[in-house]
Amino acid sequence: MPIKSLIQLLVLSAIWGASFIFLRILAPVLGPIATADIRISIAGLLLMIYFFIIRFDCEWRKFWKQYFVIGMISSAIPFSLYSYAALHLPASYEVILNSSSPLFGAIFSALLLNDRLTPSRVIGLIIGAAGVGLVMQIGAVDVDSKFGVSVLACLLASICYGIAGVYIKKYAKGVKPMAVAGCSQLLGGLMMLPLAPFGPPMGEITWFVVANILGLAILCSAIAYLLYYRLIEDLGPTKALTVTFLMPIFGMLWGTLLLGETVTAGMIAGCFLIIAGTGLVLRIDFSSVAKRFLNMQLRSK
């Protein structure tokens, strides 16, 4: 992996890990629906402006149906679910549960794309599920009905990401990745507008809140998606997915430093189980990855 791509991967992991911090701040004030809708709409509009400036052709007439579906299952629904969960879960919980997305992707690939589940993949799914269970049972918050519903919301969001990946692979061949980033978010925001009256703001909208929503939309959606799809172009989708392994590290770090959240040994163990399970499912040789990383570090010196 080139040093440039490695830096981009680390930056993207730090940005997306921070997105759950923004949600923890914004969801109690704006409400889950408004938080998700404003985030997606601003990001989509900014990317449309960027595409206009660089004269990027999104091929709306050809792929508008794909953008609509992807906007729903990859932005509108999961962002709303994570925003709801942010009302009751620490950011570190959400980012750990988010790392289960590739596991669901593997399940739906097997069901819908005839991607065979080998014994190692089955073992990986079991290990990953055990990690999710550990995070649910051992943590730094009280386990009650709201906790359970919020965990379910995070898992449903991860399921959406798994379905979105399969849908893109099966029905969105030939669609430009950068176009997906902008067009799907714009349509996702438009789809959520009719729901706005049902989720009015829950607190006072201050300049601090405005700054956070702009940070979430511009940094964690618009810029982050451009970085992510650049990584897909440079490295391929499998290697780009390693961002999922790094996000929990940054999510727990930001949660501890910025929100004073507690990270327990059980959460860390659950996180490692999810990552190990995902590695088996994606057939990633972590020892090889570590060796390459060390070699790159030595060469850079």
Instruction: State the DSSP string of 29-94.
Output: HH-HHHHHHHHHHHHHHHHHHHHHHHT----HHHHHHHHHHHHIIIIIHHHHHHHHHTTTS-HHHH
Q: What angle do helix axes 177-192 and 60-71 make, rounded to 10 degrees?
A: 60
Taking CB atoms within 8 Å and a gap of at least 24, the contacts of 48-54 are 48/182, 48/183, 48/186, 50/182, 50/222, 51/178, 51/179, 51/182
By residue range, what is the domain housing residue 82?
3-300
pTM of the model: 0.82
Round to whole Å and give the CA distance between 162 and 110.
11
User: Token pair for residue 125?
Assistant: 């799914």
**Spatial contact of 30 and 209, defined as CB atoms under 8 Å apart:** yes
Round to whole Å and give the CA distance between 232 and 69.
20
Round to whole Å and give the CA distance between 269 and 297.
27
| pLDDT value for 46 | 94
| pLDDT value for 51 | 93
User: Token pair for residue 23?
Assistant: 């949600």
294 Cβ neighbours under 8 A, 6+ residues apart: none
Q: What is the DSSP letter of 222?
A: I
User: Token pair for residue 266?
Assistant: 């059980």
Q: How many CB atoms lie within 10 A of CB 187?
A: 21
| pLDDT value for 1 | 57
- The parts of the chain modelled with pLDDT lower than 50 are 286, 289-290, 293-294, 296-301
User: Token pair for residue 256?
Assistant: 């501890």
| pLDDT value for 186 | 93
Round to whole Å and give the CA distance between 86 and 73.
19
| pLDDT value for 66 | 92
| pLDDT value for 290 | 47
| pLDDT value for 52 | 93
| pLDDT value for 142 | 61
**Spatial contact of 42 and 279, defined as CB atoms under 8 Å apart:** no
Domain count, the chain: 1
118 Cβ neighbours under 8 A, 6+ residues apart: none
User: Token pair for residue 161?
Assistant: 């990401």
